[in-house]
Amino acid sequence: VSATTLVQDCLSRLKKYNAQVNAFIEIQKEEVILQKAREAENRINEGINNKLLDGIPIAYKDNFCTQDLTTTCGSNMLRNFTSPFNATVVELLQDAGSIIIGKTNMDEYGMGSANLYSAFGPVYNPHKIISDQESNIDKYEKRVAGGSSGGSAAAVASGMCFAALGSDTGGSVRLPASYCGVIGFKPSYGLCSRWGLITYANSFDTVGIITRTVDDSQLIFDIISKYDEKDSTSLSPKLRAFNSLISYNSPLNKNEPLDLSGLRVGVPKEYMVSELSEPIIKLWKKGISFLKSQGATIISVSCQNIKYALSTYYILAPAEASSNLARYDGIRYGHQSEKNLSQLINNNENTELLYANTRDEGFGIEVKRRIMLGTFTLTTGSYENYYLRAQKIRKLIQLDFNKIFRRQNPLQQYFQYFINQNNNNNSNNSFYKKEGVDVLITPVTISISPKISDYNNNNFLNFYVNDIFTIPANLVGIPAISIPFGKLHNYPIGLQLMSQYGDDLTLFKVAKTLE
Ligand code: GLN
């Protein structure tokens, strides 16, 4: 199809379904989209300056800075904020010829798992809405799209764009992908630049990719996985080269592309939690049997400390958030409270009150809760009992994962490798252990997409349980992918694969066999 036909297709689905799904906070002007599509089409027709993603419509979660459209983070605090620059990943995808179709809805600042915490209203799971278009959608209870990248997942699932970027701090790309029936990929921390991705919890935040196929995900990943000097946590070119060297030496390279013999798949015991329902366990077993039938060896593994992952995350992420969100004071950018403004500004003592009024009006309930929680755990007296302990447990979980994987962690091997080389000692230079697994297979979510009403009158702590399977990968920085694997009660549901830090390519390879 031509670029114009493709974007027109997406636009017509967007017009048809967005009113019910609420996937977009802002949509790019139609004439701008069509103009860009024509330019791409000319490049393709003339065969000069062709680009990899010429004319491909892409949506961005509304926490990626864009110069042309507002960047709200789903918050009243940034309702009218337009960034003076584009995020690095936005630039990279635009340079590859793609077109920004719009900015997608999200839980405020990425805090949430159901997309019910957006100042722009919830995102509804598009599944029934599009398969049941003739009938009256009010006749069944609406379900959530999942969060916090719910708008991105819903937009891809309903064909409003070819791909969408989301962000994954604790599962926000994988969870909505599972609920909506699309691929959600969280790369290794540090591979894709976070510059221009508005911070929630910086040591966890990762750019995430939502697509309909694993090949599409890999295509986008190849374009945005670049070193960026503007992001101090971007993996350096040297480490990237070292990581490729490890991949080159992988024992899996001996296999044909889709033959999984030689692949060692781990099933972590600790994922069998009491919240898991029988149908999800069945689905998980089906995934395991499938990989086995393709020649993989299945191994039961244990990461003892993973049972602390959820509570560790909910100590550390709010702590980072409480510090990161201090920038929204009503002075520099974003919302500014007008309550008694002239009086407050003329009186320095009351500047604090201006901040307080601004935050009171600008932030929603969940963001306030996280700031309070984070401020508490960072306060003298609770710091050692909560924050410091959580950091220690984070390290222990990391060690657990390093023990499980056959591939060594490049971040730990790097210096050892050069020391050994300088000493002409090659004996310790093996990048792969004899024992250990290449990937882990687990569920992504404890259930299919819940009904909106499931969230009424409920203790907010219960919502946090939904992140139990996705959070470990963020604590450790390893890559993880959610792949649709069947349906329950007519709603899609995914399985998750995880691999060692830097081993993103193995994930793609195995994910392709599961789709
Ligand atoms: N649900 C998690 C949270 O609220 C994950 C969010 C995310 O990945 N952005 O923190």
What is the dihedral angle through the alpha carbons of 376, 382, 383, 389, rounded to the nearest 10 degrees?
-120
Backbone angles phi, psi at 498, to 5 degrees: -130, 150
Q: Does the beta carbon of 148 lie inside 6 Å of ligand 1?
A: yes
- Which of 75, 107, 325 has most ligand 1 atoms within 8 Å of its beta carbon, as the pocket-test mutant? 107
Report the nearest atom of ligand 1 relative to the CA of 149: 9
Q: Which residues contact 391 (CB under 8 A, 6 or more apart)?
A: 316
Question: 10 Å Cβ neighbour count for 203?
Answer: 16
Q: Using the mean position of ligand 1's atoms as its centre, give its distance from the Cα of residue 445 in Å.
A: 13
What is the pTM for the complete model shown? Answer: 0.96
Q: Using the mean position of ligand 1's atoms as its centre, give its distance from the Cα of residue 451 in Å.
A: 19
The tokens for 33 are 């989209």
Q: How far apart are CA 119 and CA 484, in angstroms?
A: 29
Q: Does the beta carbon of 88 lie inside 6 Å of ligand 1?
A: no
Q: By C-alpha distance, which of 247, 293, 287 is closest to 267?
A: 287
Residue given tokens 């250990």 in the structure block: 436
Helices and strands in the chain, H and E counts = 18, 11
The tokens for 442 are 């687990």
With a threshold of 0.95, tell me whether the complex ipTM lies above it: yes
How many Cα atoms within 13 Å fall on the side-chain side of residue 293?
A: 8
pLDDT tens, residue order, the chain (515 aa): 889 999 999 999 999 999 999 999 999 999 999 999 999 999 999 988 889 999 999 999 999 999 999 999 999 999 999 999 999 999 999 999 999 999 999 999 999 999 999 999 999 999 977 766 545 555 568 899 999 999 999 999 999 999 999 999 999 999 999 999 999 999 999 999 999 999 999 999 999 999 999 999 999 999 999 999 999 999 999 999 999 999 999 999 876 555 798 999 999 999 999 999 899 999 999 999 999 999 999 999 999 999 999 999 999 999 999 999 999 999 989 999 988 777 766 766 678 888 999 999 999 999 999 999 999 999 999 999 999 999 999 999 999 999 999 999 999 888 888 777 777 766 555 899 999 999 999 999 999 999 998 887 666 667 899 999 999 999 999 999 999 999 998 899 999 999 999 999 999 999 999 99
Residue 173: Cβ-neighbour burial (10 angstroms; 0-12, 13-18, 19+): buried
Q: Using the mean position of ligand 1's atoms as its centre, give its distance from the Cα of residue 112 in Å.
A: 5
Q: Does the beta carbon of 111 lie inside 6 Å of ligand 1?
A: yes
Q: Does the beta carbon of 113 lie inside 6 Å of ligand 1?
A: yes
